[in-house]
């Protein structure tokens, strides 16, 4: 196929959230809350098991009472915040203000790192005249993250689930994303890390290619090897 456009997922594809350990440490420092090393390690373990960090490890055991909220969490900003702060509140942290502070931290550019080849691949697509967009299941505006890391100039459109009340793998969100680029889905590649959610684009006729959701240091060239741009591999 001749690629005319590429849609990218956000978390685990172009960017990776910081580890639970640094997430918690940053918020404790910001709020001036001191905890002992043993307590800190316990909080890290319990927050990880709870799946409290958006973009981080999934809950090891989701409480039944949260199942409906979890399934639709990316359809609005309110649901997203409620889902993740509720998961975090399963952990008895020493300051009640930490739950909202942790949620706010994950929305900051400092909490995210682009994968090593993200800037190169996005820039090469732009320079080749291939249109690019981001389509993400998310509950907040990720555009400032792209701007802060210098990637916004290479992205033409953003289609975010919470802004439309529709989340992947619903084909409608991919249709919106293709339309935002002015392209037929058959001319578009969807790149993501989730075979179920991102794989929904195949229903429209998009080619779908996957990367592995790994720490930044462990995936230096996952995007580069997808063959999106001639000469970049």
* Token pair for 221: 């060239």
The residues, any chain, with a CB within 8 Å of residue 7's CB and separated by 6 or more, are: 132, 133, 134, 135, 174, 177, 178, 181, 188, 189, 190, 191, 201, 206
Strand partners, 157: 133
Rounded distance between C-alpha atoms, residue 127 and residue 158, angstroms: 19
3-class secondary-structure state, position 76: coil
Contact 132, 183 (CB under 8 A): no
Rounded distance between C-alpha atoms, residue 211 and residue 201, angstroms: 15
First to last CA, the chain: 17
Please state, in angstroms and as integers, the Cα–Cα distance from residue 140 to each residue in 36, 68, 208, following that order.
Answer: 33, 20, 25
Given this model, what pLDDT does residue 230 score?
73
Given this model, what pLDDT does residue 143 score?
98
What pLDDT tens digit does each residue of the chain (233 aa) get? 799 999 999 999 999 999 999 999 999 999 999 999 999 999 999 999 999 999 999 999 998 999 999 999 999 999 999 999 999 999 999 999 999 999 999 999 999 999 999 999 999 999 999 999 999 999 999 999 999 999 999 999 999 999 999 999 999 999 999 999 999 999 999 999 999 999 999 999 999 999 999 999 999 999 999 999 876 66
Q: Are strands 112-114 and 15-17 parallel, antiparallel or unpaired?
A: antiparallel
DSSP H helices in 91-170: 98-106, 118-127, 143-148, 161-164
Given this model, what pLDDT does residue 233 score?
63
Residue with tokens 């580069």, as numbered in its chain: 224
Which pTM does this prediction carry? 0.95
| Domain locations in the chain as residue ranges | 5-16+114-226, 17-110
Strand partners, 207: 189
Strand partners, 132: 6
Q: Can you say whether residue 21 is alpha, beta or left, with left for phi > 0 and alpha for psi between -120 and 50 degrees?
A: alpha
Given this model, what pLDDT does residue 179 score?
98
Q: Which fold has domain 5-16+114-226?
A: Rossmann fold (3.40.50)
Nearest to 192 by CA among 207, 176, 171, 175: 207
Residue with tokens 């994968």, as numbered in its chain: 115
Strand partners, 113: 16
Rounded distance between C-alpha atoms, residue 138 and residue 13, angstroms: 14
């Amino acid at each position: 196929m001749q690629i005319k456009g590429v849609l990218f997922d956000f978390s685990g594809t172009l960017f990776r959230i910081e580890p639970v350990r640094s997430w918690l440490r940053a918020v404790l420092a910001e709020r001036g809350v001191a905890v002992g090393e043993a307590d800190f390690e316990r909080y890290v373990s319990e927050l990880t098991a709870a799946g409290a960090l958006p973009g981080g490890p999934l809950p090891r055991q989701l409480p039944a009472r949260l199942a409906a909220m979890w399934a639709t969490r990316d359809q609005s900003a309110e649901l997203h915040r409620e889902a993740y702060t509720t998961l975090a509140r399963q952990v008895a942290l020493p300051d009640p203000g930490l739950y909202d502070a942790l949620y706010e931290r994950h929305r900051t550019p400092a909490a995210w790192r682009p994968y090593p080849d993200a800037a190169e691949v996005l820039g090469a697509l732009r320079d080749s005249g291939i249109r690019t967009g981001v389509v993400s299941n998310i509950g907040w505006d990720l555009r400032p993250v792209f701007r802060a890391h210098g990637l916004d100039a290479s992205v033409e459109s953003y289609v975010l689930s919470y802004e439309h009340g529709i989340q992947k793998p619903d084909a409608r969100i991919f249709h919106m994303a293709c339309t935002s680029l002015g392209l037929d889905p058959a001319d578009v590649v969807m790149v993501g890390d989730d075979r179920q959610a991102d794989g929904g684009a195949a229903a429209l006729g998009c080619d779908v290619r996957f990367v592995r959701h790994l720490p930044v240091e462990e995936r230096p060239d996952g995007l580069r090897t997808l063959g999106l741009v001639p000469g970049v591999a």
